[in-house]
Amino acid sequence: MQNYEGSSGKLELFEEILEDVLESNHRVVVFSQWVEMLKILEERIKERGFEYFYLNGSTKSEERIDMVNRFNGGEKQVFLVSLKAGGFGLNLTGADVVILYDLWWNPAVENQAMDRAHRIGQENSVQVFRLITKNTIEERIFELQQKKKDLFDQVVSSAQTFITELSEDELMQLLEE
């Protein structure tokens, strides 16, 4: 769809959210799993005159550290991050808004990305926006993520119930060699 000339409701919503949060003096980290999408978002951000950092998998580690430190120090309003490149090892406490532009199959990857702003040193509450287009594969991915989460919660809950129902002797037997 390289030559698509139409509009995108999702992109328009992104621009609205971005305008609102930046006008309210919030700072934003935007994650996308697609570098091509990040480039489109970058163009929209440039058009509006917002200052931003951009990080993807090809960003050198020294540059990553420098950008993160500068962002956390209050420089620039927006940080565009590739979901895979930014899911690990970043501390983005300079942001108090996270936007997940598109979904990843594995909700743990998204959770790790969101956790970049929920780190030690974060002094503000962090607001997270997940942009999901209705009646698309994205919506189906979100439903699958919710099913995985519900199943995980059931397993963990069952395990906790099982352990709490054991007697002290039964627990000791489980721990013995």
Q: What is the pLDDT of residues 111-170, one digit of tens each?
A: 776 776 666 566 678 888 888 888 888 888 778 877 877 777 776 666 666 666 767 776
Yes or no: say if 93 and 72 are a contact pair by the CB < 8 Å rule: yes
Question: Hey, CA dihedral for 82, 71, 28, 148, is it positive or negative?
Answer: positive
User: Strand, helix or coil at 162?
Assistant: helix
Give CA separation, 39 vs 33, 54, 119, in Å.
Answer: 12, 9, 27
CATH class of 9-130: alpha beta
Tokens 């420089």 locate to 75
Please report the pLDDT score of residue 101 as a whole number: 92
Please report the pLDDT score of residue 146 as a whole number: 78
The number of helices, as runs of H, and strands, as runs of E, in the chain is 7, 5
Give CA separation, 65 vs 29, 32, 111, 126, in Å.
Answer: 15, 20, 21, 22
Please report the pLDDT score of residue 174 as a whole number: 64
Please report the pLDDT score of residue 66 as a whole number: 94
Q: How many CA atoms lie within 13 A of 75 on its CB side?
A: 9
pLDDT averaged over the chain?
82
Give CA separation, 85 vs 31, 93, 127, in Å.
Answer: 10, 17, 21
Confidence of residue 13 (pLDDT cuts 50, 70, 90): very high
Please report the pLDDT score of residue 37 as a whole number: 93
Confidence of residue 6 (pLDDT cuts 50, 70, 90): low
Please report the pLDDT score of residue 17 as a whole number: 95
pTM, entire model: 0.75
Q: What is the pLDDT of residues 83-113, one digit of tens each?
A: 777 655 678 888 889 998 987 766 676 677 6
Please report the pLDDT score of residue 161 as a whole number: 65
